[in-house]
Amino acid sequence: MLSTEGKEVNTGFNFENWWIGDVCSFVNQTPSLINTQFLENTTLLTITAKNHLDLLNKSQCFREYTYKLRSKATMASVLKLSELSESARTRYKVLLEKYPKIQQRVSQKQIASFLQITPEALSRLRKSETL
């Protein structure tokens, strides 16, 4: 996603066996404001809105799965919003607790963007954590 200043903003990380997408764009059949960037080799599966609707109509199991998936996505969004009020240090600690190996998989610039701080501020945070 781009900020109003035209800078890339990282809004999240997804790892193995995760679903990604812009639900609002998918449901409303409008262009997405979200860009997805794959940092590692990825197998991407897609579904059209029509096929998704057909599956929802035909499969109770798929309806239940979709409901659970959307519920989890909603909870994750609420959690993300609540974390924004925390300090950068706290957001960084929470990120490392959730994704202990993230520093081996994602650049510091991307982590800083996600935390909404500069790479320099992240460097200072990392340095203070190791002292």
Q: How confident is the model at residue 35 (pLDDT cuts 50, 70, 90)?
A: confident
Helices 49-58 and 60-83: angle between axes, nearest 10 degrees: 120
Q: pLDDT tens-digit profile of 98-110?
A: 888 999 999 999 9
How many helices (H) and strands (E) the chain has is answered by 7, 0
Model confidence pLDDT, tens digit, residues 55-89: 999 999 999 999 998 888 887 777 777 777 888 99
Q: State the pLDDT at residue 57.
A: 96
Domain residue ranges in the chain:
23-46+86-130
